[in-house]
Every structure is written in structure tokens, then in C-alpha cells.
A and B are shown apart, each in its own frame.
Chain A
Amino acid sequence: MSIGHTLLGLLESGPRHGYDLKRAFDAKFGHDRPLHYGQVYSTMSRLLKNGLVEVDGIEAGDGPERKRYAITEAGVTDVQQWLATPEKPEPYLQSTLYTKVVLALLTHRDASGILDTQRSEHLRMMRILTDRKRKGDLADQLICDHALFHLEADLRWLELTAARLGKLAEAVTR
């Protein structure tokens, strides 16, 4: 999963402090793997350096200064490109796809389009494997079948997610 893109996407709804970003990330995507503060700040300084976010304000407090970050136009474009680019089919892809779909719903983008594009990418890979299987020997067939069944499982997840987009939208924007 791209933490940078996810944090950028979370900033689309408005400027936030690093601490708020971590909390929002953990609530939506962290599950059993919350972000470390260090990850948030190192990611934000990289995004800042690349012009994808800017400092919207600095608050002085008892502890260290608290920077509030805002996404730039370049940042919005970067999120858009990331969401529109299908992921390479591979095991445990669902965490990245889940993040993309939720982020699309949060930022009012076309989540079903993301699923369609990903399905197409998976099918492209399945066509290559099916063709290899037809031309290959039994060993080829078994190897390709293994990959095909895994891709098929991903696709079932995509279909189910597509069917549940309405409910998911309600849950994440609540």
C-alpha cells in the first residue's frame, strides 16, 4: 500500500496536522497495523519536498511545533493518477485495492471505475496465462492453473466489493 498516496487522499477533505492524519489513517486503513508517528512525519516531509503538500499553518504549543498540512494541485493530480492506475496482480493485493476504493469513496471519485480497471488488468494477465496453458505441457498447465485460481479469487473479491460499494460508501463517510 502507498502510505504517501493514502495520506494525500486524506488531505483532500481539508488541511490536517500530522497527528490527525495518523488518527484518520489508523481508523480507516490501519486495522491491526497502525502507523508510527515517525512514518507520518517522514512521509509528510517527502511530500512537502516534492511539492505535493504545503504547510498551511504552524501552531506553537508546549511541545514541538505542530505543522498543518494542505494538499496542493499537484498532490490532487498525483492521487488521481495513483487511483486510476491498476495494480499489478499479485498476492495480498486486496489491502492496496481496499485502500484505493475507500479513498475514492472518501474523495467522491468513481470507485466502481477503479474496480473495473483492476478487473481488466487481472483479465489481461489471465488471458496471457490461459494462452500459455493452451500451448504448454501438463507442468505448464498446472503452474498456470495455480496462478489463474489466485487471480480468480481476487476477481471474486472485486465483484463482491463492487456489489457492496453502496454500503461501503455509507460506512466510510459516516
Chain B
Amino acid sequence: MTPAGSLLAAHDLHKAYGPTHALDGAGFSIHPGEIVAVMGPSGSGKSTLLHCLAGIVTPDSGSITYNGLEMATMNDSRRSALRRSEFGFVFQFGQLVPELTCVENVALPLRLNGTSRKEAERTALTWMERLEVDDLAAKRPGEVSGGQGQRVAVARSLVTGPRVLFADEPTGALDSLNGERVMELLTDAARSTNAAVVLVTHETRVAAYSDREVVVRDGRSRDMERVV
């Protein structure tokens, strides 16, 4: 049931937390280089869908394939490796390590993968330039604004050259001007590397940066491109 050419696809996902059915037959697919907005009201299951797709949460049933491989057949260390090297993450809040400088934060995923400090920070600076925050390299997260911090977080999410970027309400804590700039830079950077972006948002102005949208309601998803 995997749509042809998709990089990441899910079919008939179910996930319950106690009596609450967060996902109730949801599906999803994304192609390389595609930006797909996952929309829906609070509590509809969109974040659970993202967590399942990213291998953070294991669904109760259903299938998720990444690059043609069934995620359920991967062991924990393979899934962790996938998250470290092929997936990138941007969240709404609290992503940067306060004790590290901004460049150390951006370099962190590379350091965890075994890259030398010098090489990791060199690559990190390149990404910080693209996100227009290279002048903040030596500052700590507490010394930068919310918008700047979010751009640092986007640089960090892209530093390993992920094939899929998961962004969960990436502009939720920003004003509209800063949010817009983050979205412009994020989508430009993703398109330049052909990364697929799973963009969870309830803001339509943010969703307008996507190529298409999937609507999640009561744990079920509706792919609008395939409906209209």
C-alpha cells in the first residue's frame, strides 16, 4: 500500500493511550524533497502521527516504511541511528542545550555521530550562515532572541544532511515576522538539500509553505491532494 516513490509512508496506523485513540487508521506518505503540512485541531493526533513516523513512538498496529524498509523490523539501535543521521527534528520549545554555545549546539548531532570537534563546528557554521545566525556562534541560547534561537535549532536539525526533517509547530512560539523568516529559511534549506519535510502545524500561514496538506481529525488522516 506504499505510494510509489515515497520515502516515508504509513498505512492504517493505530495508537491508543489508555482509552484514548490518538491514531485510528491514519495514513501518510511523503516523497523526497516534498514539504507536507500535517494539520488538524488540538488533540486530533497530528503530533502522535509525527512521533510514529519518526520512530519515537511505536504504533500499536499498522505499517511504516522508510526507504522501502519496514520500521517495525528495525531494532532499537537501527532506529536510533536513523533518527540521528537521516532524520532531523525541530520543535516549538526548549531544544537547545543552555550550557553550550550556539555553534556547539548546532554541531552536537555531528559530534554524537563521531565527527571531530573542528570538522563538526566548521560544518555547523556553514549551516548557521545559511540560517543567518552565524554571528551568534559564540553566544549561549539564553543570550539570543526566540526567533534567533529557532533558526539555530533549524540549523542543528539540518546539519547532518537529513533526508527527512520533522518540524512540530516550528514557529508556534514566534511572532508572525520571525515565524515567517524561519519558515522561509527552513523551506529554502530543505529544498536545496532535497530533504522531505513533515510539517505539523495548526497555523495556515505556516502550512502555506508546504506543497500539500494532510488533515488529521479524530486520529484519522485525509490526504487533500488525493481527495480533491
Contacts and interface: CB of A to CB of B under 8 A. Distances in A.
B4 interface: no
Contact of A112 (B205, B208, B213, B217): B217
A23 interface: no
A163 B41 contact: yes
A26 interface: no
Contacts of A130: 205, 208-209
A155 B228 contact: no
Interface string A109-121: 0001100110111
Contacts of A122: 204
Nearest to B224: A120
A123 B215 contact: no
Contacts of A119: 39, 204, 213, 215, 224
Contacts of A134: 184
A69 to B, nearest CB: 33
B19 to A, nearest CB: 20
Contacts of A152: 204-205
A148 to B, nearest CB: 6
Interface residues of A, number: 23
B1 interface: no
Interface string B197-228: 00000001101111101010100001010011
Nearest to B228: A120
Q: DSSP majority for the B interface?
A: mixed
A137 to B, nearest CB: 15
B41 A116 contact: no
Contact of A155 (B184, B204, B210): B204
A116 B204 contact: no
A123 B228 contact: no
A127 B222 contact: no
A117 B228 contact: yes
Contact of B222 (A116, A126, A156): A116
A17 B39 CA distance: 44
Interface string A153-172: 00110010011000000000
Contacts of A117: 224, 227-228
A99 to B, nearest CB: 21
A151 interface: yes
B224 A127 contact: no
A162 B184 CA distance: 29
Nearest to B42: A163
Contact of A148 (B205, B217, B227): B205
A159 B41 contact: yes
**Chain A CB within 10 A, most for which of B41, B207, B208:** B208
A129 interface: yes
Given A159-B41, A162-B41, A163-B41, A116 B208 contact: no
A129 B227 contact: no
A116 B224 contact: yes
A126 B208 contact: yes
13 contacts: A86-B228, A112-B217, A117-B224, A117-B227, A119-B39, A119-B213, A127-B208, A127-B211, A130-B208, A130-B209, A134-B184, A155-B204, A162-B41
Interface of B: 37, 39, 41, 184, 204-205, 207-211, 213, 215, 217, 222, 224, 227-228
Interface of A: 86, 112-113, 116-117, 119-123, 126-127, 129-130, 134, 148, 151-152, 155-156, 159, 162-163
Given A119-B215, A120-B224, A123-B204, 11 more contacts: A113-B227, A116-B215, A116-B222, A116-B224, A117-B227, A119-B224, A120-B213, A126-B208, A130-B205, A134-B184, A148-B205
